[in-house]
């Protein structure tokens, strides 16, 4: 199956995919990110959607500083394919707000290279799609 990222790249200049089941969440596909991220306002706004894990993970924050983040697990559905994944909860309200003001959409998280590898997703840059 193929998931198009062409429209999002044309509209906002970024490869964004939207979950197909509620809640509809917008994720940036980021091959440079080693971890998956869910922004704290999403985690706090949907407490029943995420399962808090008993662990933390260190990562570089938005400003380049090392931060410890809570780990949560969730099952997301994209194009009728479900995938269970672990997210690091990241406080980035100001950055997300600025992106929303500049691009007219709200970003909820990031799916990194581990998600792509675990789910055997392949990015076809020539056709601007993700092959699942």
Say how far apart CA 116 and CA 29 lie, in whole Å: 9
pLDDT given for residue 62 in this prediction: 67
Q: What are phi and psi of 57, to 5 degrees?
A: -135, 140
When pLDDT is averaged across residues 43-69 and rounded to a whole number, the result is 86
When pLDDT is averaged across residues 101-110 and rounded to a whole number, the result is 89
Strand partners, 72: 52, 87
**Sign of dihedral through CA atoms 108, 113, 116, 117?**
negative
The domain 2-131: what is its CATH number?
2.40.70.10
Task: Give long-range contacts, CB 8 A cutoff, 24+ apart: 29-32.
Answer: 29/5, 29/111, 29/116, 29/123, 29/130, 30/110, 30/111, 30/112, 30/113, 31/112, 31/113, 31/116, 31/123, 32/112, 32/113
Task: Give the predicted TM-score (pTM) of the model.
Answer: 0.90
């Amino acid at each position: 199956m193929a998931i198009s990222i062409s429209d999002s790249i044309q509209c906002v200049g970024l490869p964004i995919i939207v979950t197909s089941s509620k809640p509809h969440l917008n994720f940036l596909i980021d091959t440079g990110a080693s971890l998956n991220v869910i922004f704290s306002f999403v985690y706090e706004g949907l407490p029943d959607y995420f399962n808090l894990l008993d662990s933390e993970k260190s990562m570089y924050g938005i400003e380049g500083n090392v931060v410890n983040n809570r780990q949560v697990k969730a099952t997301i559905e994209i194009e009728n394919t479900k995938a269970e994944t672990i997210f690091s909860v990241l406080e980035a309200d100001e950055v997300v707000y600025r992106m929303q003001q500049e691009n007219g959409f709200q970003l909820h998280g990031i799916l990194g290279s581990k998600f792509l590898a675990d789910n055997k997703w392949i990015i076809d840059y020539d056709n601007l799609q993700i092959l699942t």
